[in-house]
Structure 1
Amino acid sequence: MFSFDYEKIESDNKYLKEMLETFLSQGIVKLCNAPIEKNFVEQFAYQLGCVREIVFDRIADIVIKKDAYTQGFTLVDLPLHTDC
């Protein structure tokens, strides 16, 4: 998967363009060092296109939990998938 640093995206237009082109051609990018504030993911996603709501919530805020009820909230890796 292609990874991009959020801080560099914010400060370097060529790097931002590279990230956007990768997103358009691959359909997915990994954003590293992004802010952890609530609603950041949704706000950033709208810069890329329409946001599709999923079964669990408008935006899935995945956080590791000690007493997780589903594998998605554990440290166990999940393959790429959709929850639609």
Structure 2
Amino acid sequence: MPFTLVHVGKPALEVLLTIPGGLLFGALALRGRSMLGPFLLHWTLAASVDVWVNLGGLRADWRRPAEQYQGDRREDSQIKRRYDVGV
């Protein structure tokens, strides 16, 4: 439970996933008699998510419904320009 409480204030999915994650990390720590394994696993997971997001793996508006994009020509043209190879 403390593992989950530390993540309060972050996105809901992340907080919910800390419950099974905390159980897994706790089991790994008990089995290995060390916090080093869970610490390194948590650090690697957090670092890889940060790298993935910074490389463009997740857009800031990923939850916007498709109907909100209709008629938004200015934003569409900006997005197309950003990803066009020839520009």
Please give the TM-score of this superposition, normalised by the length of structure 2. Answer: 0.24
**Bigger fraction of residues in strand:** 1
Higher relative contact order (CA 8 A, sep 6+): 1
Larger Rg: 2
